[in-house]
Amino acid sequence: MMTLDNIFKYFEEISKIPRGSGNEKAISDYLVSFAKKHNLEVIQDEVYNIIIKKPATPGYENGPTVILQGHMDMVCEKNKDKVHDFTKDPITLRYIDDMIYADNTTLGADNGIAVAMAMAILASDDVKHPPLEVVLTVDEESGMTGAHALNPEHLKGRILINMDTEEEGKLLVSCAGGLRTTITLEADWKKPEEGYEAYRIEIKGLKGGHSGADIDKERGNSNKLLGRVLNAVYKEMPFQLSHLSGGSKSNAIPREAEAVVFIPSDKSQVLIKTINEWDNILKNEYKISDPEVTVNVHKADNSFENVLSWEKTEKAIALLMTIPNGIQTMSKSIDGLVESSNNLGVVSTNEEGITFDSAVRSSLDSLKEYIKEQIYTVAKLVGANFNAFGDYPGWEYNPNSRIREVFQRVYREKYGKEAEIIAVHAGVECGLFGEKIEGLDMISFGPDMYDVHTPNEHVSISSTKRTYEYLLAVLETLDS
């Protein structure tokens, strides 16, 4: 008998394996070994998606085949002063009361808890269930390329239970679609003018968060705030830009950003005064959502030797100022639901130039296209290169869902109250599965998780146990 504690045993095991988006071969191979150890049929495709099949337990052979689905990759975010290499270092787990945290990095409970729950079911000898197909995809967090590449011919199931939701007692039945965009402003590097010195301007202390689930919290975006600060400084004293960076994932609201600027040597006090003013401005504006925000400036080291031309500097600031960000529209049919948004998640600098990466989300394809065209137009106006990719569909509400009715009934019987039916602005892979498999009946659920996509990510132990028991009760119900 596999106890509830085995969920956390498996979660600890997979936390030892680096599994950032695009780096899933090791975790995929581990899951292949796990399946073979338990004499289960396993398919590993060319992108390292995993499908593990388990026959029905006695008495459930005539039940409908059920797809249990999650993703094995995780968002890799850490605090700036944390030394951690996500390509080789394990995630350190910290158990504090009812919560599991990492150590100044993302935890990976999104979506490692789903992987661990699926493993516990697959390894169990006496959990009652119909035929199961466990599908664990790669690269969900940075483009859903695993779900895009999945061959539906490997699957017989027409019921899908996605385990990538972060609030216990809420049943997800619809989500937004999305895409990614990239603007690249080509560099024209040159030596700074005589008598100019390098200063580093930094924005820190923002909470960040998930660019879908947390976009309605109106938290500060460090890249956009840096644009406002640089625009204000430039009006006081034109400078030459040497470096811009902020954020690390387009689907995470960026918490930190910095710029290195070259200013006239005699203007340092003006710069410091302007930065101090903006520190106060942002502390006032974000005193509720981001009370620890800070803006500071100090002399940069001598590693910065080149700058952009005046023209390219102005264009870089213009992009930070004008790329749309945050909520764009609210749903007219579902109260409180964000309908469309954009997140300027990553700004980076290299020899070729400065790149601005965004994650667009929308419940309506037409609005997703509109935001994409806005970003394209901004790029066109400053003569920058534009690219859009990773387009994935939304998931429309199914008014005749059998699996939703089962989940509602079981929840009512177990807990004596109604489960909440929700739609979210975040994206899950259900839209792509529904596009690939005609007539697929889907639902998404999960335990309480907090601050996902940030180094403060944590998950409730008791909620995970209840969620697992709830899933088992649902599976036991599906006997015919």
Give Cα separations from 6 to 10, 164, 476 (angstroms).
6, 19, 19
Query: In this model, does residue 132 exceed pLDDT 80?
Result: yes
Q: What superfamily in CATH does domain 5-176+394-477 come from?
A: Zn peptidases (3.40.630.10)
pLDDT, one tens digit per residue, over 67-96 is 999 999 999 999 989 999 999 999 999 999
Report the greatest alpha carbon distance in the chain.
83
Query: In this model, does residue 307 exceed pLDDT 60?
Result: yes
- Asked if 189 and 94 touch (Cβ cutoff 8 Å), the reply is no
Query: In this model, does residue 336 exceed pLDDT 60?
Result: yes
Mean pLDDT, residues 215-225? 96
Closest among 343, 97, 69, 61 to 214, alpha carbons compared = 343
Query: In this model, does residue 55 exceed pLDDT 50?
Result: yes
Active-site residue, selected from the candidate residues 24, 73, 77, 166: 73
Structure tokens at 282: 């942002």
Predicted local distance difference test score (pLDDT) of residue 335:
85
Q: Is 73 a catalytic residue?
A: yes
Give Cα separations from 352 to 29, 180, 184, 306, 452 (angstroms).
36, 20, 9, 13, 32
Q: Is 335 a catalytic residue?
A: no
Query: In this model, does residue 1 exceed pLDDT 70?
Result: no
- Could you tell me where in the chain the CATH 3.40.630.10 domains are found? 5-176+394-477
Question: For residue 443, what pLDDT band results from cuts at 50, 70 and 90?
Answer: very high
Task: For 228, list phi and psi in degrees, rounded to 5.
Answer: -65, -45
Question: For residue 146, what pLDDT band results from cuts at 50, 70 and 90?
Answer: very high
Name the residue type at position 57. T
Closest among 420, 440, 28, 86 to 248, alpha carbons compared = 86
Q: Rounded CA gap, 363 and 264, in Å? A: 48
Name the residue type at position 475. L
Percent of the chain that is helix, strand, coil (3-state, to 5):
30, 30, 40
Report the chain's mean pLDDT, rounded to a whole number.
Answer: 95
Active-site residue, selected from the candidate residues 133, 140, 164, 448: 140
- Could you tell me where in the chain the CATH 3.30.70.360 domains are found? 182-392
Query: In this model, does residue 2 exceed pLDDT 70?
Result: no
Which residues 6+ apart lie within 8 Å of 95 measured at CB? 461
Bridge partners for 422 per DSSP? 172
pLDDT, one tens digit per residue, over 393-441 is 989 889 899 999 999 999 999 999 999 999 989 888 999 999 999 999 9
Predicted local distance difference test score (pLDDT) of residue 224:
98
* DSSP alpha helix (H) spans, 342-437: 365-381, 402-415, 430-436
Mean pLDDT, residues 96-106? 97
Among 47-56, 95-104, 105-114, 247-256, the range scoring the smallest mean pLDDT is 247-256
Question: Any idea which fold 182-392 has?
Answer: Alpha-Beta Plaits (3.30.70)
Bridge partners for 253 per DSSP? 209
Query: In this model, does residue 205 exceed pLDDT 70?
Result: yes
Question: For residue 3, what pLDDT band results from cuts at 50, 70 and 90?
Answer: low
Task: For 440, list phi and psi in degrees, rounded to 5.
Answer: -70, 130
